[in-house]
């Protein structure tokens, strides 16, 4: 699909609309009435001091938690909007096409790099193979699906520069490579919304610069939306089109990087109040 056509079929709604999201754990309010939107083909940064509720927000979006109050609407092109808070966990990946990574690396360490990317394409392969049992008969449609999946996996390996390590166990890769492999694996699910939880954590400056390039190219070439939690301001300011700032579960600011940089509420949250 070319870009112009995609533009036309995009619904008028933003990609992700978060309305009055509240998440309580007993007496603790992790997210307090937060509302914001993430637009199509934009990188939306979610920043805030530790404990601000950023990861909880991701857990609500990807179905780990059921929000106490609020609505999460995902409106992708060519399909009716979906209410994420009402969907079962695995269906958010399977049907709503939301992919995510975690703060800590969660690759399938015992499987090869290529297999990690193939697992991400499990659904279409299962459908093509008649839930495997028919696939054992070696029907051509199954082999074709397997080949297409492998091509996509190899495409992403090329992009992150790990083609030569395709058959190595994922757990044996250096940390920076594992981080990029996680993003590639998330992309192999062909998501419409990619949620990245601190992808630059533990990366050196050169690696975070590479990450910036990768994220921008995903946004520009594939036109998907990215939701990015990050503490590394070089990544946030270098990639985000739009930034949402949380503090103690409440949204305290929302705007372009330059607006956020000079927002007094943000400065207060990060640096504390100046004494009179």
Partner 1 sequence: MEYLLQQLINGLTLGAIYGLIAIGYTMVYGIIGMINFAHGDIYMVGAFQAMIALMIVGTLGISWVPLQLAIMLIVALVLTAAYGWTVERIAYRPLRGSTRLAPLISAIGMSIVLQNYVQLLQGPRPKPVAPVIRGGFALTGSDSGFVVQLGYLQIMIILLTVALMTVFAYIIAKTSLGRAQRACEQDRKMASLLGVNVDLTISQTFIIGAALAAVAGMMVTLYYGVNDFFMGFVAGIKAFTAAVLGGIGSLPGAMLGGILIGLIEAIWSAYFSAEYKDVAAFGVLVLVLIFRPTGLLGRPEVEKV
Residue 62 near partner 1 by CB under 8 A: yes
Compare residues 27 and 110 and give the one whose CB is closer to partner 1: 110
Compare residues 64 and 175 and give the one whose CB is closer to partner 1: 64
Q: How many residues make contact with partner 1 (CB under 8 A)?
A: 34
* 114 and 210 Cβ atoms separated by less than 8 Å: no
In whole angstroms, the minimum distance from the beta carbon of 129 to partner 1 comes to 6
Reported in sequence order, the residue ranges of the chain that DSSP labels E, i.e. its strands, are 16-25, 28-38, 43-47, 69-74, 82-83, 98-100, 193-197, 225-229, 242-247, 250-255
Residues 6+ positions from 17 with CB-CB distance below 8 Å: 37, 71, 72, 73, 75
Structure tokens at 16: 């992700």
Q: Can you tell me which of 129, 178, 208, 212 binds partner 1, judged by CB under 8 A? A: 129
Compare residues 172 and 258 and give the one whose CB is closer to partner 1: 172
CA-CA-CA-CA torsion for 229, 198, 16, 126, nearest 10 degrees? Answer: -170
Structure tokens at 244: 């949402």
Q: Can you tell me which of 66, 106, 144, 268 binds partner 1, judged by CB under 8 A? A: 106
Residue 109 near partner 1 by CB under 8 A: yes
**Which DSSP string corresponds to 42-61?**
-EEEEE-STTSSHHHHHHHH
In whole angstroms, the minimum distance from the beta carbon of 120 to partner 1 comes to 5
Distances (CA, A) of 156 to 101, 149, 215: 16, 11, 13
Q: Which of residues 76-105 bind partner 1 (CB under 8 A)?
A: 89-90, 92-94, 99-100, 102
Contact letters for partner 1, residues 152-191 (x by CB under 8 A): ---------------------------------xx--x--
Which stretches of the chain bind partner 1, using CB under 8 A? 62, 64, 89-90, 92-94, 99-100, 102, 106, 108-111, 115, 118-123, 125-126, 129, 131-132, 135-136, 146, 149, 185-186, 189
């Amino acid at each position: 699909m070319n870009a112009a056509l995609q533009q036309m079929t995009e619904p008028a709604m933003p990609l992700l609309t978060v309305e009055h999201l509240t998440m309580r754990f007993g007496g603790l309010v992790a997210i307090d009435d937060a509302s914001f939107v993430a637009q199509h083909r934009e990188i939306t940064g979610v920043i805030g001091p530790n404990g601000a509720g950023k990861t909880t927000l991701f857990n609500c979006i990807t179905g780990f938690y059921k929000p106490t109050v609020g609505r999460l609407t995902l409106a992708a092109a060519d399909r009716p909007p979906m209410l994420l808070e009402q969907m079962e966990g695995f269906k958010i990946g399977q049907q709503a096409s939301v992919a995510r990574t975690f703060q800590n690396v969660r690759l399938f360490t015992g499987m090869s790099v290529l297999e990690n990317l193939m697992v991400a394409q499990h659904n279409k392969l299962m459908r093509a193979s008649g839930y495997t049992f028919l696939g054992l008969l070696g029907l051509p449609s199954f082999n074709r699906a397997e080949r297409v999946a492998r091509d996509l996996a190899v495409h992403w390996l090329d992009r992150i520069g790990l083609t030569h390590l395709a058959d190595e166990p994922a757990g044996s890769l250096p940390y920076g490579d594992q981080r990029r492999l996680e993003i590639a694996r998330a992309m192999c699910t062909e998501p419409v919304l990619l949620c990245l939880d601190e992808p630059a954590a533990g990366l050196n400056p050169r690696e975070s610069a590479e990450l910036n390039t990768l994220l921008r190219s995903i946004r520009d070439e594939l036109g998907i939306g990215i939701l990015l939690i990050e503490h590394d301001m070089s990544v946030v300011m270098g990639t985000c089109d739009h930034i949402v700032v949380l503090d103690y579960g409440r949204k305290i600011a929302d705007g372009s990087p330059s607006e956020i940089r000079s927002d007094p509420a943000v400065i207060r949250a990060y640096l504390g109040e100046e004494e009179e």
